[in-house]
Copies of this chain bind each other. A is one copy, B any other.
């Protein structure tokens, strides 16, 4: 590979916004958007944990940005830009970096964000990546996990469980003839740009599993939730695997859909705010603790886990 400073000049400097000062300084300088609050989030992508060693570097780059964009979406923030860290083992071919930078460039354009700065390092063995995303909201309007009230309805965008089955397909555990499930696993679609402030009482993105992430809303809000298993939206491709995959769909995560709670009177406004994006009511908030899943007969289903945790 070319040397560290040549790599920065060649692959990363073209991605930099004016805040990045050409990546020629110790730090970035940002004029905060007047009268707005900043929203800040960071996520990692590690080889062998969040992606497989042979994965397409452009898709790794895009998923790194999109996981963070999904966190901004869950706060109702408008994305602005990001800082990046890369730690790469010495044997990595330069084509990997070219592909990675091309993926960043593609999603920068798609989401209207730019690179502010970063840090590049050698790694002893595994590739290790992180991105810190910045966005902004009108003061006091950031969505949170803490506002759900008994009686609120629970809604979820898109479909849940595709990424779980897509990962299984990548491991050869099931077949994905159209490639749709695999695509959903490799390239999530963060639900940025929805104007949900003043409509929803709580929001979170589904990264670690629907049940676990809804559980976070319940814990922080001090409430419980009841959802109907058959109401959870499922793509035709995932539905083909039937009830056997229900637990995987509800608990594996990596969906990057939004789960929100809304007072019933705001359900219409919620649907309007989502426009063409499908959003589905899956249950309601109750007094109590935890998340209950009911089947069509009204029986409570039990699962071995609520969602993904890092050991």
Instruction: Evaluate contact between B50 and A121: CB separation under 8 angstroms.
Output: yes
What is the interface size of chain A, counting residues whose CB is below 8 A from a CB of the partner?
69
A213, chain B: closest CB distance, angstroms: 10
Q: Does A144 contact B (CB under 8 A)?
A: yes
B90 adjacent to A311 (CB under 8 Å): yes
Residues of B within 8 A of A24 (CB): 145-146, 216, 220
Is A116's CB within 8 Å of the partner chain B?
Answer: yes
A42-53: CB near B (< 8 Å → 1, else 0) gives 111011111000
Checking B28, B41, B142, B310 against A40 with a beta-carbon cut-off of 8 angstroms, the contacting residue is: B28
A77 touches which of B27, B31, B128, B310 (Cβ 8 Å): B27
Known contacts A119-B130, A130-B130; decide if A49 and B87 are in contact (CB<8 Å): yes
Give residues of chain A (142-174) contacting chain B, Cβ–Cβ below 8 Å.
142, 144-146
CB-based contact A29/B25 at 8 Å:
no
* Residues in B whose Cβ lies below 8 Å from that of A205: 26
Q: Taking the complex as formed, is A38 at the interface, i.e. its CB lies under 8 A from any CB of chain B? A: yes
Does A21 sit within 8 A of B, measured CB to CB?
yes
CB distance A122 to B4 under 8 Å? no
Query: Measured between alpha carbons, how far is A95 from B210 in the docked complex, in Å?
Result: 32
Q: Would you call A41 and B29 a contact (CB within 8 A)?
A: no
Are A132 and B83 in contact, with the CB atoms below 8 A? yes
Among B32, B74, B87, contact of A26 (Cβ-Cβ < 8 Å): B74
Nearest B-chain residue to A308, judged by Cβ: B4
Q: Shortest CB–CB separation between residue A113 and chain B, in angstroms?
A: 14
User: Is B37 touching A124 in the complex (CB atoms < 8 A)?
Assistant: no
Over the window 75-93 of chain A, the binary record of Cβ atoms lying under 8 Å from chain B Cβ atoms (1 yes, 0 no) is 1010000011101001000
